[in-house]
């Protein structure tokens, strides 16, 4: 029996016309003999509106545990609406369909409200319903805690709901319908010659997602990789039955022709924090970064260098612009305690990265990358690498130029 999971994001269910179109797509898939579970997001913009309501009702200083459980009750409601609406639209087309909310699936999550992690499913009759030919329309993004409270999975979390359902159902594929027709080598708005990839490995997609490509929630890719769920990203604007191959996110072994570099990503939401004259002795870095971690500041690149004499060093790290204000405040408040001379924060920086599993077995990627940037006169500020990616921090004004140059240098431009 072929079970398939389909997921539709916010723009795909943005109004009643779009929902009708989704119902046509789903109904066509059902007519092909597939047993379907369909995960939906809230209508585009709805979750932002609900977040605003929750903050408005709670007041500025109410956050944390005294706030987050009720925040989840409010913000999860957008998905309840779309799951009911799509079930109705499917019934209108003569199909057997019903909506499932997080608690009805028993999509059990941790109790970290606002960013809960899926623990697993309890037996809820979903499998029987799907195998019996009923289309299960599932509210994404939401779950239930052991305490029986509603939880949400973090922004963009309905992708993760979809992968979790696909894993639980042993689905053939988890088709993420969205407003783009696949995963591209880079942002086509910057590089018109960007190409849609037929396949991309989990590892590469994970890097792409966390480095700024906004197609899939990072957590959903992790989950797909752990459970070997084949994910496909495809267009929800296609007509039923129309050719719509999308991009498969799958294991590396499935990809025959491996490119050295498969993608170029960028993120302008970066800030660089420099601490000058940091005391050069054991325990100082630990103190700085534990403090930032405790405050929820997500630190990315870290460089400690330029030791000025034996006792002092400079330390550079990057984080999101939003986190940088908090980081700056915290560090300045504990200046004496940590032991540094001064601090500067620059927010006019961008991170540009090249990604490819081929890097594991090829040399010279860094040389090609730095040479391409040099030829455009772009100065590199900070560099960081992993097995399958190289990231550089540059002046934000050169972001587009850098992305274009790298896309060309690694032979990614469509002919
Ligand atoms: N509606 C939620 C959000 O906007 C979840 C999702 O769309 O994936 O973040
Ligand atoms: Mg999304």
Rounded to 5°, angle at Cα 164 from 206 and 78: 95
Whether residue 204 is found in the same domain as residue 275: no
Q: What is the pLDDT of residue 306?
A: 61
Q: What is the pLDDT of residue 281?
A: 86
CB of 8 closer than 6 angstroms to any ligand 1 atom = no
Which of 7, 9, 11, 42 is the pocket-test mutation for ligand 1 (most atoms within 8 Å of CB)? 42
Tell which residue, 170, 126, 161, has the closest CA to residue 4.
170
Which of 208, 231, 255 finishes a domain? Answer: 255
Whether residue 247 is found in the same domain as residue 273: no
CB of 339 closer than 6 angstroms to any ligand 1 atom = no
Tell which residue, 36, 243, 261, has the closest CA to residue 135.
36
32-49 residues labelled b (16+ CB within 10 A) or e (exposed): eebbbbbbbbbbbebbee
Whether residue 56 is found in the same domain as residue 195: yes
* pLDDT 10s digits, 359-413: 998 999 999 999 999 999 999 999 999 999 999 999 999 999 999 999 999 999 9
Q: Is 184 annotated as a binding-site member?
A: yes
Whether residue 198 is found in the same domain as residue 343: no
Q: How far is the CA of 178 from the centre of ligand 2 (A)?
A: 8
CA distance 289 to 273: 12
* pLDDT 10s digits, 113-123: 999 999 988 87
Q: What is the pLDDT of residue 169?
A: 95
Range of the domain at 145: 3-255
* pLDDT 10s digits, 275-329: 999 988 889 999 999 999 998 899 999 998 766 667 889 999 999 998 999 999 9
Expressed in percent and rounded to 5, the helix, strand and coil fractions of the chain are 40, 25, 35
Whether residue 234 is found in the same domain as residue 171: yes
CA distance 372 to 112: 44
**Averaged pLDDT, 59-88:** 90
CA distance 35 to 136: 9
Residue 388 domain-assigned (yes or no): yes
DSSP annotation of 184 reads: B
CA distance 124 to 146: 15
Nearest bound ligand to CA 49? 1
DSSP annotation of 196 reads: B
CA distance 381 to 369: 14
* pLDDT 10s digits, 347-362: 999 999 999 999 998 9
CATH number at residue 148: 3.40.1160.10
For the chain, give the percent of residues with pLDDT over 90. Answer: 85
CB of 41 closer than 6 angstroms to any ligand 1 atom = yes
* pLDDT 10s digits, 208-246: 987 767 789 999 999 999 999 999 999 999 999 999 999
């Amino acid at each position: 029996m072929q079970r398939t999971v389909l997921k539709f994001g916010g723009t795909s269910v943005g109004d009643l016309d779009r929902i009708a179109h989704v119902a046509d797509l789903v109904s066509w898939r059902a007519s092909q003999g597939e047993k379907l579970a369909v995960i939906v997001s809230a209508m585009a913009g709805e979750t932002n509106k609900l977040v605003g309501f929750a903050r408005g009702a709670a007041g500025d200083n109410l956050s944390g545990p005294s706030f987050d459980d009720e925040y989840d009750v409010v913000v999860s409601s957008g998905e309840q609406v779309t799951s009911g609406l799509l079930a109705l639209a499917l019934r209108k087309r003569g199909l057997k369909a019903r909506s499932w909310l997080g608690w009805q699936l028993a999509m059990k999550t941790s109790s970290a409200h606002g960013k809960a992690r899926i623990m697993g499913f309890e037996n809820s009759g979903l499998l029987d319903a799907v195998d019996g030919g009923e289309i299960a329309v599932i509210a994404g993004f939401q779950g239930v805690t052991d305490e029986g409270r509603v939880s949400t999975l973090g922004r963009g979390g309905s992708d993760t709901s979809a992968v979790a359902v696909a894993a639980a159902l042993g689905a053939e594929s988890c088709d993420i319908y969205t407003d783009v027709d696949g995963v591209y080598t880079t942002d086509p708005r910057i590089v018109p010659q960007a190409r849609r990839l037929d396949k991309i490995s989990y590892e590469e997609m994970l890097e792409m997602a966390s480095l700024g490509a906004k197609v899939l929630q990072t957590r959903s890719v992790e989950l797909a990789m752990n459970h070997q769920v084949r994910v496909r990203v495809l267009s929800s604007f296609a007509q039923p039955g129309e050719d719509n191959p999308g991009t498969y996110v799958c294991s590396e072994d499935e990809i025959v022709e491996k490119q050295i570099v498969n993608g170029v990503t960028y993120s302008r939401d970066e800030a660089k924090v420099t601490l000058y004259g940091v005391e050069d002795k054991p325990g100082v870095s630990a103190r700085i970064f534990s403090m930032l971690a405790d405050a929820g500041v997500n630190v990315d690149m870290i460089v400690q260098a330029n030791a000025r004499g034996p006792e002092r060093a400079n330390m550079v790290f990057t984080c999101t612009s939003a986190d940088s204000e908090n980081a700056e405040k915290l560090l300045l408040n504990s200046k004496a305690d940590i032991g540094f001379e001064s601090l500067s924060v620059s927010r006019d920086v961008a991170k540009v990265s090249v990604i490819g599993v081929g890097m594991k077995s090829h040399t010279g990627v860094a040389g090609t990358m730095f040479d391409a940037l040099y030829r455009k006169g772009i100065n590199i500020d900070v560099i960081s690498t992993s097995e399958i990616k190289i990231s550089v921090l540059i002046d934000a004004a050169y972001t587009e130029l850098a992305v274009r140059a790298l896309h060309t240098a690694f032979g990614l431009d469509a002919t």
